[in-house]
Amino acid sequence: MRILGLDPGLRHTGWGLIEKQGPKLSFIAAGVINPDDTLPLASRLMELHNALKQIVQDWQPDTAAVEETFVNKNPSSTLKLGQARGVVLMTPALMGLTVGEYTPNQIKKTITGVGHAEKTQVDMMVRTLLKTVPQGIPPDASDALAIAITHAFIGVR
């Protein structure tokens, strides 16, 4: 089973694809979508949708998982993140995939055993669980792989 993990953001949306065969997890691909931040919001959301659609078409995942939004201090930033998250949830669903959702604490606890783990701990465990992850992948892509692993462990039977 191929699982697409998505870490939503309007400036940077991380994506990571893994394969689950029984208890074994394997790294397939990962990257970051960076919509042009000089464009109007609607155009940036459309770029995000088109890039996600292309990823799903190219890699043919069986299911997807998305990190739930946390609320930050800036209401405008939270609203924009929510709009990007809506596109990230909708695009795989439109393409026939089931989409799981996980809180940041669920992801950290699943990957490291600690719900308030640091990003470096999560990245280290992603590399431990998926031995062939290339060096130098962006943090957003590593986070997306953690989301995919979480879905493999607790969302997919």
Whole-angstrom distance, CA of residue 117 vs CA of residue 42: 35
Tokens 């931040």, located at residue: 37
Domain assignments of the chain as residue spans, ordered by start:
2-155
Whole-angstrom distance, CA of residue 85 vs CA of residue 37: 16
pLDDT exceeds 80 at position 73: no
Decide which of 7 and 157 is more confident. 7
Sequence-distant (6+) residues with CB within 8 A of 29 are: 16, 17, 59
Structure confidence at residue 157 as a pLDDT band (50, 70, 90): low
Q: What is the pTM of this model?
A: 0.95
What is the fold, at CATH topology level, of the domain defined by 2-155? Nucleotidyltransferase; domain 5 (3.30.420)
Q: Which residues are catalytic?
A: 7, 67, 140
